[in-house]
Amino acid sequence: MITIDIETKSDKDITKCGVYAYADSFYFDILLFAYSVDGQPVQVIDTAKGEKIPEKILSALADEKIVKRAFNVNFERVCLSRYLSKNYPQYFQSYSINEDTVGDYLNPEGWQCTMIHSRYLGLPSSLAEVGSVLGIEQQKMAEGKALIKFFCVPFDVIGGIPQFHNPSDYPDKWEIFKAYNKRDVEAEMEIDRKLSRFPVPDFLWREFYLDQEINDRGILVDMELADAAITLDEQSKAKLTSDMQKLTGVENPNSVYQLLDWLEKQGYKSDSLGKAQVKELIKTAKEPVSSVLEMRLQLSKSSVKKYTAMKTAVCSDIRVRGMFQFYGASRTGRYCSKIVQLQNLPQNHIPDLTEAREIVKYGYHDEIEMLYDDVPDTLSQLIRTAFIPRPGMKFIVADFSAIEARVIAWLAGETWRMEAFAKGEDIYCASASKMFGVPVVKHGENGHLRQKGKVAELACGYGGSVGAMKAMGADSLGLSDIELKQIVTDWREASPHITDLWWSVDRAAKKAIKEKTNTDTHGLTFSYEAGFLFIELPSGRRLAYAKPRISENQFGGESVTYMGINAQKKWDRLESYGPKFVENVVQAIARDLLMYSMQTLSHCSIVAHVHDEIIIEADKRMSVEAVCQQMSRTPEWAEGLILRADGYECEYYKKD
């Protein structure tokens, strides 16, 4: 096994463009290469000063049978792919085959990630934080951040050429930087040693290799559309700002403080100009305040920045790569999205998307404003459509139907729900019918009750009550808190096996922690091992909760607490209980089902996935129905679970 850490330079900002575009730059290079073979003392190769990486190491980098480990190994693998292909082509072998677009990268098989190992155990995702939590002796050197900025980032651009500090001109700083490079490998090795008691299962590494292939492949961007959208957005913002200045007399209407002061003078006092607050003010505002507030909403439309993110991140072949973070959510193992953030794209409701795309491409600001009224909103709705298949191909988009509702019904053994899914019934109608004891048909008999069923379904599955109902849109029902509470009660009485699941899980988790033992319920195994609470899922994957203990909750009862990353991204003690554990488990199982489907479809060119949706860059002959049938298959460990996938094909990405 080889443990690796590299220091690199590029004129690209990796925090904005990601590692693929960063390494794709003409000015990219590797400065230092630190490594250890099988735990031996760390060696540092000063490539910036002409030292050569040993041939046996170069050969090992492309050998799938030799394990290479690093913290955030995607960075090392992508950077070394570029470095080897340029400097040592005899040792470089891309795994791209046929006409696929995975690019020229080293095969991910054989590369393992210490960061993913940490996240698999519910630990932080930065080397320094993991080292601190584990109390390792070889801590990451604090000087590193400043040295990276000094040697790896251009200090100036002259004649279009980025200027970097020469290591030979700063020998003292450079020696410290080499020590920093060495220390990182030592820290990674110590972390690996401490985590070795709980190794990542082989099947999870196979999932990781598929993830890396999807990231390597990337997705094509319609840069004509993206460039036009960026220009139109600038024009729109300039016009809106000018119009607001004329209406308000405020020097800078984009200033929250100046606009709040103007609103107060108009008789509309507010503490914030957040989206929700502005929408509330508009309800009672008169002119010119209502127009100003509408413009404020348009100006605050941040989603159009995704076009800029695309432009920043595209590689030389106009594909954006590296948008998916494997094991992004440490409590469930679900994916996170980065760079362009596909998981929070605005939906599209424009009926004539193709026409709207063409008008934007031609840059007709006035025509867009005339046809669609709100230019930023139109650009926002078109963001999805900037992702396109390569010429001669199409997109097939398929996603699971009501996946979490299906999983929790299967896990709890809520028979009537499973029967409803088997019959292809609308779960919101079925739930309302069960709750209120009458037939409920969408757009038909007692159809008005479906919305109550929908809100209850979305809010109540993980123990939610009135507050959760309101968060899911219950205010639109026009019901009092007492009436909402009754709907919660009706839902729970209609789903007794799900409520039993909550508290069975709660008891099992507490027993495992209190007695430091193993216990089972509903196909889940709870165990306490060496300071971790583990929940083994039907798939064989385990969820980990570090340093669990039984504490007193705000109501004077017992609750489970554990160490994890809080909402402020800090390592902190968190609280959980039965319904919350069930939420983690259900979402984790949904993630495992998505991975199973992605593996069964791995022979297809998967270019992206968003929540429970898979996007395939497909041959024109490929069938949507065949993809949906594959996704509807259940793995052996989920016997009895009824899955359904719906899909469509398109010439650009969109929501059907």
Same domain? 6 vs 59: yes
CA 22 to chain centre: 20
Pair 175, 318 in one domain: no
Q: Does the pLDDT at position 280 exceed 90? A: no
- Residues 6 or more apart in contact with residue 382 via CB below 8 angstroms: 225, 229, 348, 350, 353, 356, 357, 360
- Check whether residue 398 and residue 376 sit in a common domain: no
In a domain, 578, yes or no: no
What letter would DSSP give residue 130?
H
Can you give the pLDDT at residue 121? 96
E-assigned strand segments in 374-505: 387-388, 393-400
Instruction: Please work out, in degrees rounded to the nearest 5, the angle formed at the alpha carbon of residue 286 by the alpha carbons of 380 and 288.
Output: 70
- E runs forming strands in 382-515: 387-388, 393-400
On whether residue 431 sits in a domain, the answer given is yes
Whole-number pLDDT of residue 365? 81
Identity (one letter) of the amino acid at 482?
Answer: I
Distance (Å, whole) CA 457 – CA 491: 8
For residue 9, give the 3-state DSSP assignment.
strand
Q: Which is nearest to 526 in space by CA: 542, 550, 549, 539?
A: 542
Is residue 523 situated within a structural domain? Answer: no
Whether the model clears a pTM of 0.85, i.e. scores above it, the answer is yes
Same-domain status, 172 and 132: yes
Residue-averaged pLDDT of the chain: 92
pLDDT, one tens digit per residue, over 436-486 is 888 988 888 888 888 888 888 888 999 998 888 888 877 777 788 888 899
pLDDT at position 370: 85
> For residue range 147-194, what is the model confidence (pLDDT) as tens digits?
999 999 999 999 999 999 999 999 999 999 999 999 999 999 999 999
Q: Could you give the CA distance from residue 627 to residue 397 in angstroms, rounded to a whole number?
A: 9
Residue from 210, 379, 232 nearest 301 by CA: 379
Q: Which domain holds residue 282?
A: 221-388
- Lowest pLDDT segment from 216-230, 448-462, 614-628: 448-462
Specify the pLDDT at position 372.
83
pLDDT of 526: 98
> Which range, of 115-124, 143-152, 284-293, 326-335, averages the lowest pLDDT?
284-293
Q: Which pLDDT score, from 0 to 100, does residue 99 have?
A: 60
Whether 364 and 318 share a structural domain:
yes
Please say which residue of 457, 478, 494 terminates a domain: 494
**Can you give the pLDDT at residue 68?**
98
Rounded CA separation 248/292 (Å):
8
Residue 644 has pLDDT above 60, yes or no: yes
Q: What does the pLDDT read at residue 315?
A: 96
Check whether 303 has a pLDDT greater than 90.
Answer: no
Cα(255)–Cα(174) distance, rounded to whole angstroms? 44
Same domain, 364 and 440: no
Question: Which of 23-27, 253-257, 577-581, 602-606 has the weakest average pLDDT?
Answer: 253-257
DSSP 425: -
Q: What is the pLDDT of residue 80?
A: 97
Q: Which residues of 420-458 are buried (b: 16+ CB within 10 A; e: fewer)?
A: bbeeeebbbbbbbbbbbeeebeeeeeeeebbebbbbbbb
Which residues pair with residue 535 across a beta bridge? 526, 543
Instruction: Identify the band that residue 554 occupies on the pLDDT scale cut at 50, 70 and 90.
Output: confident
Instruction: Identify the bridge partners of residue 394 per DSSP, sorted by sequence position.
Output: 618
335 and 233 co-located in one domain: yes
In a domain, 156, yes or no: yes
Distances from the Cα of 579 to the Cαs of 432, 582, 655, in angstroms? 22, 5, 31
Is position 572 within any domain?
Answer: no
* Overall domain count for the chain: 4
What would you report as the CA-atom Rg of the chain, rounded to the nearest whole angstrom?
27
Q: Residue 618's pLDDT is what?
A: 94
Tell me if 260 sits within 8 A of 268, measured CB to CB.
Answer: no
Question: For residue 457, which of 474, 481, 476, 480 has the smallest C-alpha distance?
Answer: 474
Residues 461 and 486 in one domain: yes
| C-alpha distance from residue 2 to each of 60, 69, 70, 430 (Å) | 9, 6, 9, 56
User: What is the mean pLDDT of the segment spanning 349-376?
Assistant: 87
| 34 and 76 inside one domain | yes
Farthest CA pair distance, the chain: 82
User: Do 266 and 179 fall into the same domain?
Assistant: no
Task: Give the pLDDT band (50/70/90) at residue 638.
Answer: very high
Residue 186 pLDDT: 95
**Amino acid identity for residue 130 in this structure:** V
The least confident of 93-97, 126-130, 176-180, 224-228 is 93-97
The answer to whether the beta carbons of residues 560 and 533 sit under 8 Å apart is yes
Q: Which residues are within 8 A (CB) of 416 and not within 5 positions of it... i.e. 6 or more apart?
A: 430, 434
Lowest mean pLDDT among 14-28, 168-182, 384-398, 561-575: 561-575
284: pLDDT confidence band, cut at 50, 70 and 90? confident
Q: What share of the chain is helix, strand, coil (3-state, %, to 5)?
A: 50, 15, 35
In a domain, 65, yes or no: yes
Residues 235 and 373 in one domain: yes
For residue 98, pLDDT beyond 60: no
Query: Are 136 and 225 within one domain?
Result: no
What pLDDT score was predicted for residue 92? 87
Residue 584 lies inside a defined structural domain of this protein:
no
Domain contains 102: yes
* pLDDT given at position 97: 60
Of residues 275 and 39, more confidence is placed in: 39
User: What pLDDT score does 277 carry?
Assistant: 85
- Cβ 30 vs Cβ 168: under 8 Å: no
260 pLDDT more than 60: yes
Domain boundary among 466, 494, 522: 494
